[in-house]
Amino acid sequence: MLDIDIEGSASRLSPEAPVPVVDAERVAQRPGGAGLAALLAARTETGVVLITGIAEDDAGRQLRALLSTAGVRVLGLPVSGNTVTKTRIRARGQSMLRLDRGDGTAVSRPLSREVSEALAGAGAICVADYGAGITALPEIREVLTRLAAEIPVVWDPHPRGAAPVPGCAMVTPNQDEAQRFCTEQRPGEMGEVLRRRWDADAVCITRGSRGAELHRRDGGAHRIGVGQLAAAGSSPSDVCGAGDRFAVALATALGGGADPEAAATTAVADAARFVATGGAAAVATAVPARGPDLVVAQRQRQDPMEVDAVALAARLRREGRTVVATGGCFDLLHTGHIRLLRQARDLGDALIVLVNSDASVRALKGAGRPVMGDADRARVLAALACVDAVALFDGPTPEHPLASLRPDIWVKGGDYTADDLPEAAVVRRFGGEVVILPTVAGYSSSRLIAAASAPSTDERQ
């Protein structure tokens, strides 16, 4: 499904009825349902494939574009009807209204060779059931039942969906879902009853801020607490997507060889961190106000080159929003940069990019660099929809501007650890978090510059 988030402020009532008037300030789109699960997986993993029913309409095409940009390969199954679209209108983080449209449902057809091969070659399979009929398809159930003996299958069930296939490595209902699946049992008995009913290796019931309860085939229940991570944010009310983050983290850990308890502990921590940093709303991509089925009034976006980055960060903090910053040379912008910037923007409400000055780049990279001057590099970055402000800095590392910005999240790409970064101490001093995102293999400004500078075959002859 396609989720549309309209964020704004409400300071007056409509003269036509006693209802708030929302002045839209930001419109964003993101994949919802299983698409959100795939998007979250692609933030940390490569080779993510989403097998789903997807309609050939405007919303379906937008979904494909959003997922493809995030690095997700989409293999479509046939559906009837239109793409389900959910529009949420919020003012200052408070939900005001949700509009649902679309009636897409799965259609039974033999699986394509591409789909069969993708499933058979997976390191782990996460079934994110949203009750639209995919999990009831006989051909899907047959192949998942066969593969569950060889590949970890994590099944996030839905009350309107089909029962998990036998042999799943983990089934992950939340507390309310477990009670609906198992109305005749007392709360402490539901996990084991459901595990036996579904013939799963384990059932993990998620309980929001109270963590999770794990029931394994070899007996016994284990409670997993959220601990200090629940306090990492400012008690956000938007927990949309936490179940998807949990299921994806669980599948990734099990696919990497973790035992169920260790995998569940990791998944609880990841889900808590996800909620603390804004939930699903922080994973949206800003779009023009005119969407496939929606026209709203939106304030003109200010040129990021003209934005005072420090003032922007201060205003957003006062409003309780999440400020994300990242930095680098960005000498010849490439696909790896774009993906890093988009993923960084998805973590919060605004992205500020700190750019090394020309003198700083020369000190780091040597003579002949940068290829593009700092003003041009900043101008190119400012033209990206995911960038809200750009600022230049001198010196090899950005401790000084970070002390002024005080971002909630500082993002770097590569093989670093947070402790490797000299600026990490400054970020943490003001309560910020350091996030390391994986880079896209094969892309490097230095490599592109070297390739462009190499003599052609004709020149060598």
**What does the pLDDT look like over 203-222, one tens digit per residue?**
999 988 788 899 998 877 88
Residues 77 and 148 grouped into a single domain: yes
Q: In DSSP terms, which residues pair with 87 in a beta bridge?
A: 4, 99
Report the interhelical angle of 34-42 vs 58-69 (nearest 10°): 20
Provide the domain count of the chain: 2
Residues 240 and 144 grouped into a single domain: yes
**28-54 burial: b if 16+ Cβ within 10 Å, else e:** bbbbbbbbbbbbbbbbebeebbbbbbb
Residues 69 and 206 grouped into a single domain: yes
Adjacency order of strands within the sheet including 409-413: 389-393, 350-356, 323-328, 409-413, 433-437
Residues 124 and 29 grouped into a single domain: yes
Report the alpha-carbon distance of residue 139 to residue 112 in Å, rounded. 10
Q: Identify the domain boundary among 234, 253, 287.
A: 287
Question: What residue numbers bound the domain in which 447 lies?
Answer: 309-451
Is position 460 within any domain?
A: no
Residues 274 and 343 grouped into a single domain: no
Is position 112 within any domain?
A: yes
Report the alpha-carbon distance of residue 77 to residue 54 in Å, rounded. 6
Q: What is the pTM of this model?
A: 0.62
Q: How many CA atoms lie within 13 A of 184 on its CB side?
A: 2
Residues 216 and 143 grouped into a single domain: yes
- Reply yes or no on whether 244 is catalytic: yes
**Listed residue (163, 52, 165, 175) closest to 111, CA to CA:** 52
**Listed residue (88, 103, 115) closest to 55, CA to CA:** 103
Is position 414 within any domain?
A: yes
What secondary structure does DSSP assign to 108-142, as a single string? --PPPHHHHHHHHT-S-EEEE--SSSGGG-HHHHH
CATH number assigned to the domain comprising residue 95: 3.40.1190.20
Q: In the prediction, which pLDDT does 110 show? A: 93
Whether the Cβ atoms of residue 252 and residue 302 lie closer than 8 Å to each other: no
| Class of residue 158 by CB neighbours under 10 A (exposed 0-12, middle 13-18, buried 19+) | middle
CATH number assigned to the domain comprising residue 445: 3.40.50.620
pLDDT digits (tens, 9 = 90+) for 39-82: 888 877 888 999 999 888 888 888 988 888 888 999 999 889 89
Is position 403 within any domain?
A: yes
Whether the Cβ atoms of residue 161 and residue 130 lie closer than 8 Å to each other: yes
Is position 246 within any domain?
A: yes
Is position 459 within any domain?
A: no
Residues 59 and 205 grouped into a single domain: yes
Q: In the prediction, which pLDDT does 275 show? A: 78
How many CB atoms within 10 Å of residue 340?
Answer: 22
Residues 340 and 428 grouped into a single domain: yes
Residues 215 and 359 grouped into a single domain: no
Is position 304 within any domain?
A: no
Is position 294 within any domain?
A: no
Q: Identify the domain boundary among 252, 287, 322.
A: 287
Q: In the prediction, which pLDDT does 87 show? A: 92
Residues 321 and 244 grouped into a single domain: no
Q: In the prediction, which pLDDT does 439 show? A: 67
Residues 116 and 244 grouped into a single domain: yes
Q: In the prediction, which pLDDT does 116 show? A: 95
Report the alpha-carbon distance of residue 321 to residue 4 in Å, rounded. 19
Q: Identify the domain boundary among 229, 254, 287.
A: 287
* Weakly modelled stretches of the chain, pLDDT under 50: 228-237, 288-301, 457, 459-461
Q: In the prediction, which pLDDT does 385 show? A: 81
Residues 347 and 278 grouped into a single domain: no
Given the residues 5, 129, 156, 244, the one annotated as active site: 244
